Amino acid sequence: MDIIIMGGGLVGASLAACLARDPKINIAVVEKFAPQPQDPHGQGDAESQVLHPSYDARNTALANGTCHVFDQLGLWQSMREYAVPIHTIDITNQGRFGRAVIRAEEERVRALGYVIENRYMGKFLSEHLQSCPNVQYLAPAEIGGLHYEGDQIVASVEVDGRWEMFKSPLVVIADGAQSQGRELLGIGAQVTSYDQVAIVTAVTPDRPHNNLALERFTDTGPLAVLPQTDNRWGLTWCLDQARADELMAADDATFMRALEQAAGSAIGNLTKVGRRFTYPLALTLAKEQVRPNAVVLGNAAHGLHPVAGQGLNMAMRDVAVLVQTLSEARTRGQSWGDFTLLNRYLQQREQDQFNTIQFSDKLTKLFSNRNPLLSMARNSGLLLFDTLGGTKRFVARHAMGRSVSTTLPEVAS
């Protein structure tokens, strides 16, 4: 086996799909959740289906760099049918006049990004991997232990009630923020709670959303509203636990009125709300991302606050650079487990990771503070940001994932 990937969520599955383009690479994906049937057209009560945690009804704003990866995999055309382009991003501060607007036409792109429900990405990735003869997809299965044998790493995998041993030069840990793989390797994580939870749902307005995304900062936390299919808004509302409990217990009408008040006039009058979910918010950073024969990816490496929508997009840039690095090593005949090689990958990613993590973390803390002086500073900052074309263009370019190449290496025919 050339590589073992622990975790078949969005990041692990994407890495497997990128590597599987080369039919000479043999890949094992170990996933503890069994594949679940999904309605391909989203009919029925999709929200009640039991899905992989990465493949739930939450929506993600895909940066153009991430879309480029899926396009190279031959998946974007299918995903695009379920995705909604973002033409405008409106950033406001509740109770203040400050605002910043980013427009696709000003950035000379068709869209600033695309919004898609995670379950559709999961569906197409899963189907694609099942069609790859060089991918062994083990689910439900768990890795019970990892140990070294010479320059290889050995995974003890429980699948179908029996234990199997898989030996490989490289194991990639991509099993989420509560990573069992990190623990098996003895890699710790720094977890910083934001003392917030996110309410996730979809709402229907009484007017067209016009491909507008809203980022609204309030004293209780940020609110992200993304355009979805069927003229819906996808909502991620970050709040303290007490307020979130109140809103989760409220009836639909009360919830929609509270949301209208928090989001402002741009959201319109709401007519329908879907099922509501919550999850706690924390910044999770692995203390090591590479070791000899091991790489930590995705939320297992860095779980971010959803305020800027950069978690998956940054992870996909990690995936692209890792694939580029492994391809170059294969050409040179270098082992994929070589620590020098894996450090080279990390060095290429450190600056982008640092910038993205700092931006997300500082933005969350700045715009979740009730201090009136900070509120005035936020307002002034938004006004200044909107007038500084160069600064706005730099931020837009980074948000679109254009600061790092996500072009995958060519595969010899």
3-state secondary structure of 335: coil
* CA–CA distance, 371 with 384 (Å, rounded to integer): 20
**Residue 238 included in any domain:** no
Give yes or no for residue 394 having a pLDDT over 80: no
pLDDT value of residue 55: 59
Mean pLDDT confidence for 177-196: 96
pLDDT value of residue 378: 47
Q: Provide the whole-model pTM.
A: 0.90
Is the pLDDT higher at 135 or at 91?
A: 135
% helix, strand, coil for the chain, step of 5? 40, 30, 30
**Residue 301 included in any domain:** yes
- Using DSSP bridges, classify how beta strands 135-138 and 27-30 pair: parallel, antiparallel or unpaired: parallel
Residue 19, C-beta contacts closer than 8 angstroms, at least 6 positions apart: 2, 3, 25, 27, 323, 326
Q: Could you please report the per-residue DSSP string of 306-321?
A: GGGS-HHHHHHHHHHH
* Contact by Cβ (8 Å): 224, 236: yes
Give yes or no for residue 48 having a pLDDT over 50: no
* CA–CA distance, 344 with 130 (Å, rounded to integer): 31
Mean pLDDT confidence for 383-387: 47
Long-range contact pairs involving 97-105 (C-beta distance under 8 Å, separation at least 24): 97/379, 97/383, 98/378, 98/379, 98/380, 98/381, 98/382, 98/383, 99/382, 99/383, 99/386, 100/382, 100/383, 100/385, 100/386, 100/392, 101/386, 102/392, 102/395, 102/396, 102/399
153: tokens are 């790493």
Which pLDDT band holds residue 369 (cuts at 50, 70, 90)?
A: low
Give yes or no for residue 53 having a pLDDT over 70: no
For the chain, state the CA radius of gyration. 21
| pLDDT tens-digit readout, 57-83 | 688 999 999 999 999 999 999 999 999
* CA–CA distance, 23 with 15 (Å, rounded to integer): 14
Sheet hosting strand 113-117, strand order edge to edge: 59-62, 113-117, 84-86
Q: Output the domain CATH number for residue 76.
A: 3.50.50.60
Closest by CA to 65, choosing from 406, 294, 358, 397, is: 406
Residue 65: domain span: 3-83+113-191+282-366
Percent of the chain clearing pLDDT 70 (strictly above): 84
**Residue 32 included in any domain:** yes
**Residue 344 included in any domain:** yes
> In degrees to the nearest 10, what's the CA dihedral of 193, 316, 46, 195?
10
Which pLDDT band holds residue 42 (cuts at 50, 70, 90)?
A: very low
Mean pLDDT confidence for 340-346: 98
pLDDT value of residue 384: 47
Least confident of 228-237, 339-348, 391-400, 402-411: 391-400
* Contact by Cβ (8 Å): 171, 280: no
**Residue 224 included in any domain:** no
**Residue 15 included in any domain:** yes
Four-residue CA torsion sign, 184, 3, 403, 126 = negative
Give yes or no for residue 98 having a pLDDT over 90: no
pLDDT value of residue 187: 98
* CA–CA distance, 294 with 51 (Å, rounded to integer): 28
| pLDDT tens-digit readout, 104-163 | 998 888 999 999 999 999 999 999 999 999 999 999 999 999 999 999 999 999 998 999
| pLDDT tens-digit readout, 222-232 | 899 999 999 99
Give yes or no for residue 90 having a pLDDT over 80: yes
Percent of the chain clearing pLDDT 90 (strictly above): 72
**Residue 156 included in any domain:** yes
| pLDDT tens-digit readout, 237-270 | 999 999 999 999 999 999 999 999 999 999 999 9
* CA–CA distance, 286 with 322 (Å, rounded to integer): 17
pLDDT value of residue 399: 60
Mean pLDDT confidence for 153-174: 96
Neighbour-count burial of 2, counting CB atoms closer than 10 A to its CB (0-12 exposed, 13-18 middle, 19+ buried): middle
Q: Where are the beta strands (DSSP E) in 13-71?
A: 27-30, 59-62
Which pLDDT band holds residue 219 (cuts at 50, 70, 90)?
A: confident
**Residue 30 included in any domain:** yes
pLDDT value of residue 370: 55
pLDDT value of residue 57: 66
- Number of domains within the chain: 1
